[in-house]
Structure 1
Amino acid sequence: MSDSRLPRRFDLFTSAKTACAIRARHPALHEALVQATLDPSVRSIGYQAKAIVGAAEVTIDAVIMQQDEGRYLLDVVPARQLRDLEQEGLVRLAVRELELQVKTVTMEELRAQPRRGNCAFVWSYKERAVPVGIRMRVLQALRDDGPMELGRLLEGLHADRDPAPAVMSMACNDLIEIDLASHRLGPGSMVRART
């Protein structure tokens, strides 16, 4: 018999950038977490359930992203929890005391193309195993030649099988960056090693 209070397994989001499993209680939050994972400016994604405000413990249920510019609370509009005015005020105080900036993401931003389609496509390869030989060749090529177009990278790998799934998996595993926001994913998409 299962306990309905426990999160279902598919509600838990993990990636190479998450410090722990994050309960993605809403599909929009899950999508925002996928897009954040594939965003080169996001270094890590964490979760904080509670914070202390004055002498009170406050439930903040916060997804926190470490980006190049600082720490952000991920505020996904369609996934917001309903709070009364007092709770909302305490959460805002906690966010201020934690010195978090707020990154608000609307449904329109989540649906924006080409990023949404590109992220969904790349993320579909997250579980794909990457042979060590291909991993080493990809990383060596990007180290030696710097950022390059995806088509050029794939042509230079000389693999027995199509190396594209392995490259997509490497992006999911935070080993490389692919520009997923500028254009529809294709031969001209820029790829670079993670720094």
Structure 2
Amino acid sequence: MAIKKKGERLSQAGKFSSVKCGGSVPMRHPLMRDALQQAALDPAIRSIDYLPTIPTVPSTWDVDAIVIERDGCRYYLDIVEARPRRTIAQRLMVAQALLDLGLRPLVRTESDVMREPRCTNARTVFEYASRPVDVGLRLQILGALTDDGAMPLGELLSRLRSHRDPVAAVMSLACNGVVELDLDSMPLGPRTVTRLRE
């Protein structure tokens, strides 16, 4: 979370978007991309939004806060290594303003964000984020998971008949919030548990 007077520009490492985002979320640090990809694939996280400013007395401050809704609570993402330099007074003022908005800090460190196999798995899945999925293949995937429930990825893939890459389709559907992949237990592979997202 950055803090500075309104009108100053944030340096950015790009923008992030997913179906959970209300729009593009600016990123000012490389760790943000990994953290946001993981959040977008986390079934407990319902939405990701960007809060650029908070009106305060006597002025408005750019806070550059990423707001995450998880388990019915709202948090602002606070990655320790991505914190910009700011004074103690600024830090306290913004923290209080965010608390006043009902936002609690969700503190993550670089080691949290880079933890394996989750980090590599999320990166791999997001390589397919913008891939289109044929309606027929989509129906096969959803039908198999609806009829038989959660299953290993290898079993799901063996059931699919298409001229298109079924792996790309499953990964794209995960990015679109349709299916869920277990990203924590093991590297992505045939035994990765796949299920419909609730």
Task: Provide TM-score, normalisation by structure 2.
Answer: 0.88
Q: How far apart are residue 160 of structure 1 and its match?
A: 2.9
Residue of structure 1 in register with 2:5 after alignment: none
Matching of residue 17 in structure 1 with residue 15 in structure 2: no
List runs of 5+ in structure 2 lacking aligned partners.
Answer: 1-7
1:165, distance to aligned residue in structure 2 (A): 0.9
Please show how residues 104-183 of structure 1 align to structure 2 within 5 Å.
Answer: 104-183=107-186
**Which of the residues 64, 67, 74 maps onto 1:64?**
67
Q: CA deviation at 1:158?
A: 2.2
Correspondence 1:42 to 2:29: no
User: What number of residue pairs does the alignment pair up?
Assistant: 191
* Larger deviation, residues 154-163 vs 104-113: 154-163
Once the 2 structures are TM-superposed, how far is the Cα of residue 8 of structure 1 from its aligned partner?
9.0
| Alignment-derived partner of residue 94 in structure 2 | 91
Deviation (angstroms), 1:54 = 5.8
Q: CA deviation at 1:163?
A: 0.5
- Contact 1:18–1:44 (CA under 8 A) maintained in structure 2: yes
Judge conservation of contact 2:81–2:109 (CA < 8 Å) in 1. Answer: yes
User: Which stretches of structure 1, 4 residues or more, deviate above 4 A after TM superposition?
Assistant: 5-10, 53-56
**Among 186, 190, 194, the residue aligned to 1:187:** 190
- Give 1:59 shift: 2.7
Distance 2:12 2:53 in 1: 22
Q: Percent identity?
A: 39
The alpha-carbon deviation at position 6 of structure 1 amounts to 7.6
Indicate which of 66, 78, 82 corresponds to 1:79: 82
Distance of aligned partners of 1:6 and 1:89 in 2 relative to their CA distance in 1, 3 Å threshold: closer
CA offsets 1:29-68 (integer angstroms, 9 cap, x no match): 1111111111111111001112234665333211001112
- Which sections of structure 1, spanning at least 5 residues, go unmatched? none
Question: Contact (CA 8 Å) 2:179, 2:196: kept in 1 or not?
Answer: yes
TM-score (normalised: structure 1): 0.90
Instruction: Say which is worse superposed, 49-58 or 70-79, in terms of deviation.
Output: 49-58
Q: Over aligned residue pairs, what C-alpha RMSD do you find?
A: 2.1
> Is 1:29 matched up with 2:32?
yes
Single out whichever of 100-109 and 154-163 deviates more from structure 2.
154-163
